[in-house]
Structure 1
Amino acid sequence: MDHPYRAGRFVQQTTGYKAFIPAPLPPEPPLTYSGELQSLLSDADRNIGRLDALASMLPNPDLFVAMYVRHEAVLSSQIEGTQSTLEDVLAFEADALRDDTPKDVEEVVNYVRAMNHGLNRLPDLPLSLRLLREIHAELMKGVRGGEKSPGEFRTSQNWIGGRGSSLRDASFIPPPPHEVMNVLGQLEKFLHAERTQVPLLIRCGLAHAQFETIHPFLDGNGRVGRLLITLILCEEKALSRPLLYLSLFLKKHRAEYYDRLTAIRMQGHWEQWLMFFLRGVSATALAATQTAKDIVAMRDAHRSEVAKNAKALTLLDHLFRYPTVSVNNVCKLMNCTFPTAAKLIANFESRGWLQELTGHERNRLWRYQPYLNLFARDNIAT
């Protein structure tokens, strides 16, 4: 059933356009937990629980978390139009920029820093407008859009539309600037007040959609809104580590994603949006669980091959955190000579673990290709 004003209403502004002002959460009339919605919620809860249980059993799970964070940064940024790949980010971090490295790689690196900042701040600062502003400041520092008030909620009108669109032909106009702090305050109140009344994953889905509707920054709203989902799950201890990211699912279903958000605003279709969102959570959790299992299996297999070589074991652990290395990197890591480091890299290369990237005689760079292959695949069920 349509409820045109359930999610809010379009309000005529003095300058002639209509902007959407969202109603406070949770929705009214209240959500209807139909059989399908309830079933999808149960599945998503179970799949999140399995992912977190596996993460708690991983040996040195923090070795892998950094790669999950980078992978999400790449995917989330690609949704916003960046061209950089995971390999570009790793090369950037290893100070090995190539001539063909996309200029927007710094945007992805900023996303990694912004995400880590938010996760590191959660133990001391509850999820709040202040934390979202801090995350946004890290995200936009010194990159495209960096002139658009990093870390500050907007004080001018923005809109959503195709390239070159204006307020006159925008596909959606978020709240006017004088309403932004009011509707953000309502969202913050919902995040803190509804923890017992609204199931956690429903709260994540409602909060993400509301944040995207408010569009409180001049740039970077999509990335911060997607990160908000993971921050809620980590703050609520549903995930002990940040291993769930929806960007690949949303990228694959981009048209439906935008259609579902539009249907919330136009017809009040919260339940249909939540069913889409929960399908994404389940598919993403199942894929992340499989990836984690495959990482552990590969790590065990590779470690068993070099079990008697302490330096090789140290290098393997390093590669799970930083999969791109040079001989100089290994020298510093092992506190060893250049020939010793080169011999160790050659050993890994002969096993098919390291792949040389540059083709040069000097300043060569290798990456842990079998590991990166696990992140490059698309194992999310449609």
Structure 2
Amino acid sequence: MTYEEVPWHLDPDERQLIPKSARRKIASTYQAAVPACISSASLSVPEALSARVSELLVGLARFDEEQAARGYDLPALLLRSESAASSQIERLTSSVRNVALAELTDDAPANARIAQGNVAAMRTALSLPPEVSKQRICAVHEALIAPTGETFGGQIRDEQVWVGGTPYSPHGALFVPPVPQRIDACLDDLVIFAQRDDVNAIAKAAIVHAQFETIHPFIDGNGRTGRVLLHRVLCQEGVLRRSTLPVSAGLLHDVDAYMAAIRAYQQGDPLPIVQSLVGALELALVIGQRVATAIDGVMEGWRASITERTGSAIWRLPQLLAERPVVTASLVAERLDITPRAATNLVKRACEYGMLRPLGSRRRGDFYQSDELLDLLEEISSMPGIRRVLASRP
């Protein structure tokens, strides 16, 4: 990455409104990043790291294959913890329960609506055709931003942004991304690199992510969009076809090292971000395996407790709860294709079994949550919880 000197224009009237301490730092020009072109760049992965990647790919393939045998959607559950952890990297905290609640009502905390955008972005990314493109990147960003009510989702920025420093100008910022006029060409270059078939799949995902963060094409939400792109590339490359792993939980384990790896990439060394992603995936795989075992136990316990006849709608409720651990009777009626009255009776019965618990009345009706599933997801959405999961026996 190099830099270019760019004029900085400030209206004299606006200048008078800025505190003197900040005004003194504002100059007539500033330095903006010029990302290196990567479409034809070569990458050499050291033998030790390559062997580690090969072992990791075997473990990921085995975990991915196991999802086909499950009678519920484990990826739908794990993408919630992925979304919560990705938001925490940006210092946006919300409980998994509130994020699930935000899918059902606007009467949810602001941070929950922001994190719910992460869930929507993940779903959008994994539902799109596999190849990375500018249009699909914008679609992911639009899904990310929509729950907040903001209107800039999916729109490439037409103004200068910066990271750190003051809100008044890019002078003194930690990082100043490229000027808007460079963004389209930078994204074209990124997309060409993403389609190459001569780059190790995990290394490709890491570099696509770091290059995207360097381009910073949106006004806000670049970090979370970039981490969603990690999953998109891993899916495109066939590394994770059926499953979702909480990769951001692995990155959350050492955020400082992750941020340092991105800075190293921008300074010309791609290996630290590759190593960071490898470590995050190794950790995410362990977390995914532990949580899968725990959720299997929950599902088996529910199935053992149900006494209704085979074919009753309640047998299909666990699959729905894997996708939506907070529900309403109307959602149950819609998703299980039963009458509202039958859904109300089913939810009541599920509460008797301990599958659900009333959350209390709100403006849009009664909400019910699965404590067992939510507790497991909360565990892998924070560093203390992740450490407890890793310390537990497999």
**If the TM-score is normalised by the length of the shorter chain, which range does it land in?**
0.7 to 0.9
Question: Closer, same or farther in 2 for the Cα pair 1:363/1:18, shift >3 Å?
Answer: closer
Q: Distance in 2 between matches of 1:105 and 1:220?
A: 15
- Superposed CA offset, 1:49-107 (max 9, x none): 122121122224xx33322233322332333343332111222334494xxx4123322
- Hey, what does 1:111 align to over in structure 2? 118
Q: Distance in 2 between matches of 1:75 and 1:289?
A: 17
Question: Which amino acid in the other structure matches residue 355 of structure 1?
Answer: R
Report if aligned partners of 2:203, 2:274 keep a CA contact under 8 Å in 1: yes
Quick one: higher RCO (CA 8 Å, sep 6+), 1 or 2?
Answer: 1
Question: Closer, same or farther in 2 for the Cα pair 1:129/1:305, shift >3 Å?
Answer: same
- Superposed CA offset, 1:154-210 (max 9, x none): 222211115647311101111122221222111111111x21x11111100111001
Alignment of 1:135 onto 2:145 = no
CA root-mean-square deviation: 2.9
Question: Closer, same or farther in 2 for the Cα pair 1:95/1:134, shift >3 Å?
Answer: closer
Matches within 5 A, 1:361-380: 364-378=366-380, 379=386
Alignment of 1:288 onto 2:291 = no
Equivalenced residues, count:
358
Match of 2:90 among 47, 56, 80: 80
Question: Which amino acid in the other structure matches residue 318 of structure 1?
Answer: L
Question: Closer, same or farther in 2 for the Cα pair 1:329/1:229, shift >3 Å?
Answer: closer
- Hey, what does 1:21 align to over in structure 2? 34
Q: Distance in 2 between matches of 1:339 and 1:272?
A: 53
Question: Closer, same or farther in 2 for the Cα pair 1:377/1:343, shift >3 Å?
Answer: closer
Q: Distance in 1 between matches of 2:274 and 2:176?
A: 22
Question: Which amino acid in the other structure matches residue 233 of structure 1?
Answer: L
Matches within 5 A, 1:1-382: 8-15=1-8, 16-25=29-38, 30-60=42-72, 63-95=73-105, 97=107, 101-122=108-129, 126-141=131-146, 143=148, 146-147=150-151, 149-162=152-165, 164=167, 166-192=169-195, 194-195=196-197, 197-266=198-267, 268-306=268-306, 308-309=308-309, 310-326=312-328, 333=336, 334-335=338-339, 336=341, 340-341=345-346, 343-349=348-354, 353-358=355-360, 364-378=366-380, 379=386
Report if aligned partners of 2:358, 2:367 keep a CA contact under 8 Å in 1: yes
The normalised TM-score by structure 2 is 0.81
- Superposed CA offset, 1:133-159 (max 9, x none): 122222223626x25x32221222211
Q: Distance in 2 between matches of 1:176 and 1:204?
A: 24
> By how many angstroms is 1:25 displaced?
1.9
> By how many angstroms is 1:237 displaced?
2.4
> By how many angstroms is 1:340 displaced?
3.5
Q: After alignment, is 339-348 or 51-60 more displaced?
A: 339-348
Q: Distance in 2 between matches of 1:377 and 1:161?
A: 31
Q: Distance in 2 between matches of 1:184 and 1:260?
A: 21
Question: Which amino acid in the other structure matches residue 324 of structure 1?
Answer: V
> By how many angstroms is 1:301 displaced?
2.7
> By how many angstroms is 1:257 displaced?
1.2
> By how many angstroms is 1:211 displaced?
0.5
Report if aligned partners of 2:65, 2:242 keep a CA contact under 8 Å in 1: no
- Hey, what does 1:5 align to over in structure 2? none
Report if aligned partners of 1:136, 1:224 keep a CA contact under 8 Å in 2: yes
Report if aligned partners of 2:86, 2:224 keep a CA contact under 8 Å in 1: yes
Question: Closer, same or farther in 2 for the Cα pair 1:9/1:52, shift >3 Å?
Answer: same
Q: Distance in 2 between matches of 1:55 and 1:330?
A: 24
- Superposed CA offset, 1:234-290 (max 9, x none): 122222224124222222321111111112223x22112211221111111221132
Question: Closer, same or farther in 2 for the Cα pair 1:165/1:241, shift >3 Å?
Answer: farther
Q: Unmatched 5+ residue regions in structure 1?
A: 1-7
SS at match of 1:10: strand
Q: Unmatched 5+ residue regions in structure 2?
A: 9-28, 381-385
**Identity fraction in percent:** 25
Report if aligned partners of 2:251, 2:276 keep a CA contact under 8 Å in 1: no
Report if aligned partners of 2:326, 2:370 keep a CA contact under 8 Å in 1: yes
> By how many angstroms is 1:327 displaced?
5.2
Question: Closer, same or farther in 2 for the Cα pair 1:359/1:23, shift >3 Å?
Answer: closer
SS at match of 2:360: coil
Question: Closer, same or farther in 2 for the Cα pair 1:139/1:105, shift >3 Å?
Answer: same
Report if aligned partners of 1:153, 1:216 keep a CA contact under 8 Å in 2: yes
Kindly report structure 1 stretches of 4+ aligned residues shifted beyond 6 Å: none
Q: Distance in 2 between matches of 1:81 and 1:166?
A: 23
The normalised TM-score by structure 1 is 0.83
Question: Closer, same or farther in 2 for the Cα pair 1:227/1:322, shift >3 Å?
Answer: same
